[in-house]
Structure 1
Amino acid sequence: MSAALAVVRPGECHVWTARAVSVRSAAAPALLKLLDAGERARYEAFLRDDPRALYLTAHALLRELVGAELDRDPAELAFTAVCRHCTSGGHGKPRLPDSPLHLSLSHSGDRVAVALTYTGPVGVDVEQLTRPGEAPLMVLSAEERAAYDLLPEGERTRGFTRYWTRKEAVLKATGDGLSVDPALLTVSAPDAPAALLGWAEREQPHPPVRLYDVPVSGDCLVSVAVLGDDCRVVMHEVAYDGDGVLRRPRRTGA
């Protein structure tokens, strides 16, 4: 790696984004070597190149970041995936049983995102803005739908996507995922600071939810949620070169 990766300090949440590496590029073999047998099997199970590229880049990036953070070999990390709602294994939030580091990953379009923090359970969501078809407005609460309907037509794609990244980040942080109807959550309006305003049918389901919108370049939006104390979000945009080396770190505070 050409540049040292930033250390996650107490009270911080670091969010990293990168564009997916083509599975037919020279970089792909180097990234595949970082994955374990189970991850490689899931990679091979994808029938199309685009989802393969997203999976490969997200999991390789996660391994590199965690390995650098904990000073361990990325290829030797043993992640587990825990689902709160079943015992089948193989899916759910990734975690390291022997570390206090909390982590989350997401991908959409051609972009992947990874979040790391010691503060508490974390969820990150990245969503591409150019999504085909009509927005599934049934995921909005009544309050959100009322605010959405007031948006000018040209702002509705961004507005809906911002609602979605916030909801998805919260549900990832709590470990519920989409087993919970997103319409039960009410988050702040797209042009207001990110916040979870309410959760119907659930009382005090978790420690305080700290919700943040993360600035990122390009045609996507990113939100991150952390359960626990307020923290400083640090954003990094990186890229893999053709040789599979992670370069061009750009850091901004949020």
Structure 2
Amino acid sequence: MRSSAAPALLKLLDAGERARYEAFLRDEPRGLYLTAHALLRELVGAELDRDPAEPAFSAVCRHCTSGGHGKPVLPDSPLHLSLSHAGDTVAVALTYAGPVGVDVEQVGRVGDPPLAVLSAEERAAYDRLPAGERARGFIRYWARKEAVLKATGDGLSVDPALLTVSAPDEPAALLAWAERAQPHLPVRLYDVPAPGDCLAAVAVLGDECRVVRHEVAYDGDGVLRRPRRAGD
């Protein structure tokens, strides 16, 4: 997103978000950051029936107290939030069901996949995939693992190889978590359709819930078409 197209979206951000936006040196990550946080505000505003610029988000990291990074939270609301972006795609998840993590990844964006992040069981299933399906299979694994680690708040402080998720051609599920007890709440893992060459997954800690997918378009004029609430 070009900076010249951004004023309408920038008006939605608070001072801290605008400062982080300005700190990016390249247009691509700057535009993705702006789109993700503007979309988050649009969605939360629609869900809570507030002006999108009103919510005061904080960021929570389980592993430090420096602030400014980590999962976005709304201290005055039971709504759980997560966001991710890859290529020109941004994903935002929100739910009342429990802590949530969403991840979207672009297939083929990097060279050789870092296979060390796969568990032994996952690596065996990956090796059985036809050569032409391995890039997509790896990204399916990675998106599922990232979604779980975002939901639990562990992030990449946990070695992803300790988690075993289901094979790429099977329904999404967390099968095992080595060297520690799994979170005390059940981990619900779902694949989510994503546009283009992207794959996405969402994880929720708690009761089973229905995943409802909405697309929000950006017309290139600096304005996101305001999303509707699911019940509208």
User: Shorter chain as normaliser: what TM range?
Assistant: over 0.9
What corresponds to 1:57 in structure 2?
A: 35
Distance (whole Å) between structure 1 residues aligned to residue 62 and residue 226 of structure 2: 37
Distance (whole Å) between structure 2 residues aligned to residue 251 and residue 44 of structure 1: 31
Residue 24 of structure 1: how far off its partner (Å): 3.6
2:69 aligned to which of 83, 88, 91: 91
Mapped contact 2:83–2:92 kept (Cα < 8 A): yes
Residue 242 of structure 1: how far off its partner (Å): 3.4
1:83 partner letter:
C
Partner SS for 2:207: coil
Structure 1 stretches of 5 or more lacking a match? 1-21
Residue 74 of structure 1: how far off its partner (Å): 1.3
Residue 131 of structure 1: how far off its partner (Å): 1.5
1:140 aligned to which of 96, 103, 118: 118
Distance (whole Å) between structure 2 residues aligned to residue 113 and residue 103 of structure 1: 11
Does residue 217 (structure 1) correspond to residue 200 (structure 2)? The answer is no
Residue 130 of structure 1: how far off its partner (Å): 2.3
Within-5 A mapping of 1:12-161: 22-26=1-5, 28-161=6-139
Residue 123 of structure 1: how far off its partner (Å): 0.2
Distance (whole Å) between structure 2 residues aligned to residue 144 and residue 250 of structure 1: 39
TM-score by length of 1: 0.87
1:70-107 Cα deviation digits (max 9, x unpaired): 11111121001010011111111100011010110001
1:160-209 Cα deviation digits (max 9, x unpaired): 00000000000000000001000000000000000000000111323000
Residue 238 of structure 1: how far off its partner (Å): 1.6
Mapped contact 2:58–2:72 kept (Cα < 8 A): yes
Partner SS for 1:192: coil
Distance (whole Å) between structure 1 residues aligned to residue 224 and residue 16 of structure 2: 23
Distance (whole Å) between structure 2 residues aligned to residue 95 and residue 47 of structure 1: 26
**Structure 1 residues 186 and 220: CA distance shift in structure 2, 3 A:** same
TM-score by length of 2: 0.95
2:166 aligned to which of 167, 183, 188: 188
1:130-178 Cα deviation digits (max 9, x unpaired): 2121000000000000100111110011000000000000000000000
Residue 121 of structure 1: how far off its partner (Å): 0.3
CA RMSD of aligned residues (A): 1.7
1:90 partner letter:
G
Identity, % of aligned pairs?
A: 86
Distance (whole Å) between structure 1 residues aligned to residue 200 and residue 114 of structure 2: 19
Higher relative contact order (CA 8 A, sep 6+): 1
Runs of 4+ in 1 over 4 A off after TM superposition: 248-252
Distance (whole Å) between structure 2 residues aligned to residue 196 and residue 66 of structure 1: 28
Distance (whole Å) between structure 1 residues aligned to residue 163 and residue 120 of structure 2: 10
**Structure 1 residues 100 and 53: CA distance shift in structure 2, 3 A:** same
1:152 partner letter:
P
Residue 236 of structure 1: how far off its partner (Å): 1.0
Partner SS for 1:50: helix
Aligned residues: 230
Higher strand share: 1
